[in-house]
């Protein structure tokens, strides 16, 4: 039997919102075309820097405060997806990539155009990109199955009936808040617990063994097992966060979460077959380079 260390695990999360979207209004005075910054009425914390947000008009008109250069094909449409950077005053800047949005600089900033009318919009968080959570020190997941006592008169042994499954856990990571090679930082989860309007949900993959990892000892077939990966997958709500400060110590943040919905323990122990184009090239997904369309396993 192989011996595995925690080093082969990792945490991957996808930003999402289980609680819906936000309708609001963009006024002409809300758009600052010089600073490429706009705002609309939303509670503090509704959007978090790095969120992929779908902005759509609700009256069918074009979303024309976003300059044509910010659209694929250069054509303004009624809805689009961008990453957001939220400044200290709650203003919104749109970016082309997650990494650029975390930086909040001029790189990748989407240009805005002044408008002369009110535009009703709907803002939704899109769950598309799965990212590694950086600098995780440890994580713990507890899954529980409730049992209901159905012991009846004349029974000699207690009888139980399996009932609901629930999960909860915690993780600890070294605190950081800046762009880290496209990884998420634990600072995002700390912000998530404070988000009021659309909840604090995220999609998690907690890896027991990630790809390209090996056992620390014992039998391990490098040829067939190295690329194996096993993970728990579920939606979760952040229920608490705590950050500890001590002189001379690395700042660490602890996050507590509860799972909502099904909890799956998945395994990939065979390499996935990729669907190819006629040219032999892979069919890439929106998630970015390296994410190719796979065939369903036989």
Partner 1 sequence: MAKVYTGRDGRLLIDGTEQIKVTNWSLTGSLEVLETTTLGDDQRSYVPGVQEFSGSATLLYYNDGTGRNDAATALKKVLKIAGVQGTDTVDMRLRLVEGNTNHDVRLTAYITSVSFSAGVGEVSSAQISFQGTGALTGVTI
Which residues contact partner 1 by CB under 8 A? 146, 148, 150-156, 161, 163-164
**How many CB atoms within 10 Å of residue 188?**
22
What is the DSSP secondary-structure string of 214-251?
--SBS---HHHHTT-EEEEEEEEEEEEEEEE--TTS--
Could you tell me which residues are beta bridge partners of residue 242? 254
| Residue number, 146 or 212, with CB nearest to partner 1 | 146
| Residue number, 72 or 156, with CB nearest to partner 1 | 156
| Residue number, 118 or 146, with CB nearest to partner 1 | 146
| Nearest approach, Cβ of residue 238 and partner 1 (Å) | 23
| Residue number, 151 or 269, with CB nearest to partner 1 | 151
Of the candidates 137, 149, 142, 119, the residue with the CA atom closest to the CA atom of residue 38 = 119
Q: Distance of CA 146 to CAs 119, 162, 204, Å?
A: 50, 6, 23
| Residue number, 159 or 196, with CB nearest to partner 1 | 159
Determine the Cα–Cα distance for residues 231 and 10; give it in Å rounded to an integer. Answer: 9
| Nearest approach, Cβ of residue 164 and partner 1 (Å) | 5
Determine the Cα–Cα distance for residues 255 and 139; give it in Å rounded to an integer. Answer: 9
| Nearest approach, Cβ of residue 256 and partner 1 (Å) | 22
- Enter the tokens of residue 109: 């900033």
| Nearest approach, Cβ of residue 163 and partner 1 (Å) | 5
| Nearest approach, Cβ of residue 143 and partner 1 (Å) | 16
């Amino acid at each position: 039997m192989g011996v595995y260390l925690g080093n082969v695990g990792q945490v991957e999360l996808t930003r999402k919102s289980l609680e819906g979207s936000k309708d609001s209004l963009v006024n002409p005075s809300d758009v600052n075309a010089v600073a490429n910054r706009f705002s609309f009425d939303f509670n503090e914390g509704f959007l978090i820097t790095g969120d992929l947000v779908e902005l759509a008009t609700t009256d069918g008109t074009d979303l024309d405060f976003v300059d044509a250069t910010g659209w694929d094909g250069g054509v303004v449409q009624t809805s689009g997806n961008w990453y957001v950077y939220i400044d200290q005053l709650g203003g919104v800047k749109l970016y082309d990539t997650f990494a650029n949005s975390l930086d909040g600089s001029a790189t990748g900033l989407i240009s805005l155009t002044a408008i002369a009318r009110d535009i009703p919009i709907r803002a939704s968080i899109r769950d598309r990109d799965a990212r590694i959570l950086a600098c995780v020190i440890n994580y713990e997941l507890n899954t529980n199955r409730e049992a209901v006592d159905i012991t009846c008169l004349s029974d000699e042994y207690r009888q139980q009936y399996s009932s609901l499954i629930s999960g909860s856990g915690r993780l600890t990571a070294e605190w950081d808040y800046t762009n880290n090679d496209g990884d998420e930082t634990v600072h995002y989860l700390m912000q998530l617990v404070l988000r009021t309007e659309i909840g604090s949900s995220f999609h998690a993959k907690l890896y027991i063994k990630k790809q390209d990892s090996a056992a620390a000892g014992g039998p391990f077939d490098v040829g067939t097992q190295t690329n194996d990966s096993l993970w728990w997958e579920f939606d979760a709500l952040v229920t608490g966060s705590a950050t500890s400060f001590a002189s001379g110590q690395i700042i660490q943040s602890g996050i507590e979460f509860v799972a909502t919905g099904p909890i799956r323990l998945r395994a990939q122990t065979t390499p996935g077959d990729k669907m190819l184009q006629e040219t032999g090239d892979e069919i890439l997904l929106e998630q970015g380079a390296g994410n190719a369309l796979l065939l369903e396993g036989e």
